[in-house]
Structure 1
Amino acid sequence: MVFYPPPWVPKLPFDPPDSVTIGEFMRNEIYGRRPIAKSRNPFTCGLTGKTYTVTESHKRSDLVAKALSKIMGWEPNVDSPWDKVVGVFSFNTIDYLSVLNAVHRLSGIATPANVAYSAGELEHQLRSSGAKALFTCVPVLDTALKAARAVGIPDDKIFIMDLPHHSNKTSFKTVDDLIQLGHSVLDLEPLNWVKGQGARQVAFLCYSSGTSGLPKAVMISHRNVIANVMQYCLFEDVSRRKYGVETQVELGLLPFSHIYGLVVVAHSATWRGDEVIVLPRFELTDYLRAIERFKINYLPLVPPIVIRMLGSKDLLKKYDLSSVRLVFTGAAPLGKETVVELLRLYPNWHVGQGYGMTESATVVCSTSEHDICPGTSGSLVPGTRAKLIDQEGREITEYGKPGELLVQSPSVTLGYLHNEKATAEAYIWDEDGRWLRTGDEVMVTKAPSGYEHLTIVDRLKELIKVKAHQVAPAELEAHLLTHPAVDDCAVIAVPDERDGEVPKAFVVTPQSMASRKNEDIAAEIIKHVQDHKAHYKWLKGGVEFIDVIPKSPSGKILRRLLRDKEREGRRAKGSKL
């Protein structure tokens, strides 16, 4: 049984353009963007108020592109895009999208990297993507330099993004330096793309945590992003019209390096003329102050931030948050109880959820403000089809029965870079065409409105969601096995009040460690992870020693049994689950 968007969802007015860059789509009104004259300033710093108009942002992007052309020796219509890969390893800034568009103006590829990465993790991304240059910022410059130098990126190909309250007095060129240089460079020739090039050519290499080993590079085409911007905006326009919203002020806190922040916030918001208030990182006071100061209407968040708010009610009372109309969460499910508690505090707010993934270039389904069903992730966006299959691969044809979600959409991406096996497993063909296997267990039900809604039941891929980050247990397990005190291990997600979920390791020690104290070994293992992995991958759930890791006859770790063991232990201690 194939599921479709509800009848109230408009159809795409035209096929997503397949022969232009994302930047051209974002700035050219013929493709449907809100008229520039009626648009708000696209990005405003939530700490200083610094901002640029739409026209100024476009000009800055053009000048950065010209400077990169001069420094890197790149021309728009010469050489392969794979010869022009640029890494971006920075907190959110008001120039972030301008830099990405500048890379695309040269027919290059941008690879945004998680700012929480360690030097080793960033090195993996730069090396596997073939990055030739890197944009970073002062707070993470040391990490960036270690990784860049390890892969042979010279210092004169490293550029600094401006961050508020951070001095840029370094020997590296800044974005403003590039803009100044761009004024002295001749204009670039127009891109000469052929029909369909935007559908085939990679725009972004975004790294998905995957289920095994190191993160995999998802190849996202220009058309993939263009399609999802159209899909998501068209879906939201229905409720925006109902509430008389032409443009609004949105929060830009989610990392632009993550597909959620990259597409839903940085691209979709500005394409429809909204203003994004950019915050480089989450600090509760700065966050609340920005909402009050800039009268933010729309808060795209992740559940741990909502939980943090509910745990800080006295602080919330000090700020005027009456401008907020909609809170939208993604990356992990938001429980009904949490929604109810938030609405007790702010009964005039609307709270919705969405679901998507890097491989779908973000939004698959979303909540519309006029059809909210707490606990679900809303309905399919325009141009999307879905079906559920059981463990035997049979299609599920009834409501309320969970199965693995398969998705068709023009935003479904090209596959994984240099990983044909993983691509063949995730992107499959049948008589109905090409489908993305999400690896997530989903249930379709009818909401009280009578429309179909999707509920995320479980993650077949076993990813651990730490705030807006995803952690692959297999990556941590491979690292743990390099420690002499670990003979075998398994990592699971355990609930955490602050972060939503955190990793916990179950460890089997070798006989040679029998004389040592478990607490000493656990401390060494925890430090082993902290020394080599990003902070969100740290074993904040602790280390538990076990005689044997439960596995299936084929050797697959039976994590469900470990989760059951963890729940039983928490119940025995009286912990909240």
Structure 2
Amino acid sequence: MVFTPPSWVPKLPHDPPDSIPISEFMLDEKHGRCALKSSRNPFTCGISGKTYTAAEQVDRVELLARALAKEFGWGPNEGTEWDKVIGIFSFNTIDFMTLAYAVHRLSGIASPANAAYSASELEFQLKSSGAKALFTCVPLLETSLKAAKAAGIPNERVYILEMPKEFSGDKKLPFKTVDQLLLDGARLPKLEALKWEKGQGARQTAYLCYSSGTSGLPKGVMISHRNVISNVMQISTYEKPTRDRRPVSERSEVCLALLPLSHIYGLVVIAQASTWRGDEAIILPKFELPSYLNAIQQFKIRTLYLVPPIIIGMNKNQPACAKYDLSSAQTVFTGAAPLGAETAEELQKLYPAMKIRQGYGLTETSTVVCSSDEKDIWFGTSGSLLPGVTAKIMSIEGVEITGYDQPGELVVQSPSVVLGYLKNDQANRETFLDDTDGKGRWMRTGDEAVIRKAPSGNEHVVIVDRIKELIKVKGLQVAPAELEAHLLTHPSVADCAVIPVPDDAAGEVPKAFVVKSSSVGLEENDRMVARDIAKHVEEHKARHKWLKGGVEFLDVIPKSPSGKILRRLLRDKEKDARRAKGAKL
């Protein structure tokens, strides 16, 4: 049975265009965006208050594109997109998207990297993507220079995205900034117009984002221009009935842009879908409770785009929250990890007027597949399918499930389903299925789900469990196999397995089960060995990959006859141990 959006969901007004870049779609009124004069300022720094208008953003993108063309010798219609890849390794700034659109104006690729990456992780992405230059910020400069050097990017191809002085200080550095490039661009001649063929936007990569797979290193996800354009249209069409019910003066709003713009949630939902509708995004570089609460109060933010750990933090820190006026916040939208019904209910009791919505999506669907409407909220579910999305539930045996409340793998079809993984044919075969009906390829999400009828009568998607064995730490993905491969480089580790364990602050954290190597003497203290193994991870991996769940020693790692780790047995063992201690399961 193929599931489709409820009847109340409007259909897309037209097929997403396939012959224009994202930059043109986002900045040119003829493609349906909110009129520039009617739009709020797209990006405002929540620390300094620095901002620019929508019309000024259009100019800034063009000037920066001119400067990049001169800097790198690139022409808008010369070479392929793979000749023009730029890495972006930065906290959120008001010019993050200006840079991305300038790259698209030159028919290039923007490859955003997680700001929590270590130098070796960033090096991998720079090499894998073939980045020709790296844009970073002062707080991440040391890591950037190490990674750039290892990836063969010279210092003169490292540039700075400006941040508030509270983060970057006043020290002058020998690197060009985006503001300096904009000044250069103002002195340069106009660029020639892009000359794209029919269908080019559907087959050309715009963003190369890296997603943790079920095994091995992160995979480069090739996201086309049309993929993002499609999802912006899908989100905006889904939201249109709600916005149309408001007075004209309230149809654009102020939203929070705290979540990393390097993550697909921040990149598409917040930075692009919101500003296309004329919203203003208040940029915060990272989560700190006082600056987060102050931004809501100061800028009268209406929509909070969050992840579950922030909501849990609000529930647990009410004395701090009570010091600020949060009455402007009418909607909370959460994603990146499931929000438990109990957590949502607790927040609702604290803020009865808030509409607490949840969505579901992946990097590979760039981004949203389903979302709860503010008039059809059912805690514990991820709402209804967006326009243009169809879904199936498939059993382990590959049989299509046709009824409600029957779990299976969620398989989706949408114009936002990406081109595939970079140079990874096996993963592409495992994840993306053939286009059998002419409406686009189907994608296996790797998540177990059921379809349920809500009290409203609408079909809602409920994510039950992950088939893919990913750990989500504050919304960031950790692949157990990546950590296991690293642990095996430690001399004390003969074999190992990593699983997620519950954590109040992060949702989940990694825990390692380790079989000690014969080199570990009987006299060595287990606690000291465990600490040394954890330190080995901390020295080489980003913070969200640290073994906050601990290290436990076993005589043997349970495996199937084919050698696959039986993680379910380890999860059951962990649950039994926690139950015995009365800890959270």
Scaled to the shorter chain, the TM-score interval is over 0.9
Taking only aligned residues, the RMSD between alpha carbons, in angstroms, comes to 0.9
Deviation of 1:576 (Å): 2.2
Q: Deviations over 1:151-173 (max 9, x none)?
A: 11111111100011223610000
Q: Deviations over 1:347-399 (max 9, x none)?
A: 00000100000000110001110111110000000000000100100000000
Deviation of 1:512 (Å): 2.8
Match of 2:312 among 307, 311, 322: 307
- Structure 2 residue 69 is matched with structure 1 residue 69: yes
Structure 1 partner of 2:50: 50
Structure 2 partner of 1:177: 180
Q: Which amino acid is 1:405 matched to?
A: L
5+ residue gaps, structure 2: none
- Structure 2 residue 497 is matched with structure 1 residue 490: yes
Q: Which amino acid is 1:194 matched to?
A: E
Structure 2 partner of 1:499: 506
Deviation of 1:440 (Å): 0.3
Q: Which amino acid is 1:558 matched to?
A: L
Deviation of 1:243 (Å): 4.3
Q: Which amino acid is 2:466 matched to?
A: R
**1:90-239 pair list within 5 angstroms:** 90-165=90-165, 166-167=168-169, 169-239=172-242
Distance 1:348 1:559 in 2: 42
How does the TM-score come out when normalised to structure 1? Answer: 0.99
Distance 1:110 1:408 in 2: 25
Q: Deviations over 1:492-513 (max 9, x none)?
A: 0001111111000000112331
Distance 2:79 2:355 in 1: 49
Q: Which amino acid is 1:490 matched to?
A: A
Q: Deviations over 1:286-341 (max 9, x none)?
A: 00000000000000100000001111000111000000111011011111111111
Deviation of 1:575 (Å): 1.1
Distance 2:72 2:402 in 1: 55
Match of 1:526 among 521, 534, 538: 534
Deviation of 1:522 (Å): 0.3
Deviation of 1:61 (Å): 1.3
- Structure 2 residue 258 is matched with structure 1 residue 250: no
Structure 2 partner of 1:344: 349
Distance 2:342 2:119 in 1: 39
Contact map agreement 1:254 1:468 (CA 8 A) in 2:
no
- Structure 2 residue 461 is matched with structure 1 residue 458: no
Q: Deviations over 1:459-482 (max 9, x none)?
A: 111110100210000000000001
- Structure 2 residue 485 is matched with structure 1 residue 478: yes
Contact map agreement 1:530 1:538 (CA 8 A) in 2:
yes
Structure 2 partner of 1:545: 553
Give the secondary structure class of the aligned counterpart of 1:550.
coil
Distance 2:245 2:335 in 1: 23
Match of 1:241 among 244, 250, 261: 244
- Structure 2 residue 413 is matched with structure 1 residue 405: no
**1:382-393 pair list within 5 angstroms:** 382-393=387-398
Contact map agreement 2:134 2:148 (CA 8 A) in 1:
yes
Distance 1:249 1:535 in 2: 31
Name whichever of 554-563 and 6-15 sits farther off: 554-563
Q: Which amino acid is 1:120 matched to?
A: S
Deviation of 1:545 (Å): 0.5
Structure 2 partner of 1:321: 326
Distance 1:35 1:24 in 2: 14
Distance 1:567 1:241 in 2: 48
Q: Which amino acid is 1:539 matched to?
A: L
5+ residue gaps, structure 1: none
Structure 2 partner of 1:379: 384
Distance 1:145 1:224 in 2: 32
Give the secondary structure class of the aligned counterpart of 1:489.
strand
Deviation of 1:514 (Å): 4.2
Q: Deviations over 1:189-209 (max 9, x none)?
A: 000000000000000000001
Distance 1:65 1:494 in 2: 46
Q: Which amino acid is 2:507 matched to?
A: G
- Structure 2 residue 260 is matched with structure 1 residue 278: no
Q: Deviations over 1:505-545 (max 9, x none)?
A: 00011233141211111011000000000000000000000
Q: Taking every aligned residue pair, what percent have the same amino acid on both sides?
A: 64
Distance 1:63 1:30 in 2: 21
Q: Deviations over 1:183-238 (max 9, x none)?
A: 11111100000000000000000000111111000000000000000001111122
Contact map agreement 1:492 1:505 (CA 8 A) in 2:
yes
Deviation of 1:419 (Å): 0.5
Distance 1:430 1:190 in 2: 33
Deviation of 1:431 (Å): 3.6
Contact map agreement 2:491 2:519 (CA 8 A) in 1:
no
How does the TM-score come out when normalised to structure 2? Answer: 0.98
**Residues matched between the structures, number:** 577
Distance 2:518 2:128 in 1: 38
- Structure 2 residue 371 is matched with structure 1 residue 366: yes
Distance 1:511 1:89 in 2: 41
Q: Deviations over 1:415-446 (max 9, x none)?
A: 00011111111001264452100000011000
Give the secondary structure class of the aligned counterpart of 1:487.
strand
Structure 1 partner of 2:266: 261
Name whichever of 275-284 and 430-439 sits farther off: 430-439
Distance 2:422 2:378 in 1: 38
Give the secondary structure class of the aligned counterpart of 1:263.
helix
Q: Deviations over 1:225-265 (max 9, x none)?
A: 00000001111122222344411100000100000000000
**1:281-292 pair list within 5 angstroms:** 281-292=286-297
Distance 1:240 1:37 in 2: 18
Deviation of 1:275 (Å): 0.3
Name whichever of 241-250 and 116-125 sits farther off: 241-250
Contact map agreement 1:252 1:266 (CA 8 A) in 2:
yes
Distance 2:316 2:8 in 1: 37
Contact map agreement 1:123 1:148 (CA 8 A) in 2:
yes
- Structure 2 residue 339 is matched with structure 1 residue 331: no
Distance 2:518 2:86 in 1: 48
Q: Which amino acid is 1:544 matched to?
A: E
Distance 2:163 2:476 in 1: 22
Q: Which amino acid is 2:516 matched to?
A: T
Contact map agreement 2:488 2:496 (CA 8 A) in 1:
yes
Report runs of 4+ in structure 1 exceeding 6 Å deviation. Answer: none
Q: Which amino acid is 1:553 matched to?
A: P
Contact map agreement 1:367 1:379 (CA 8 A) in 2:
yes
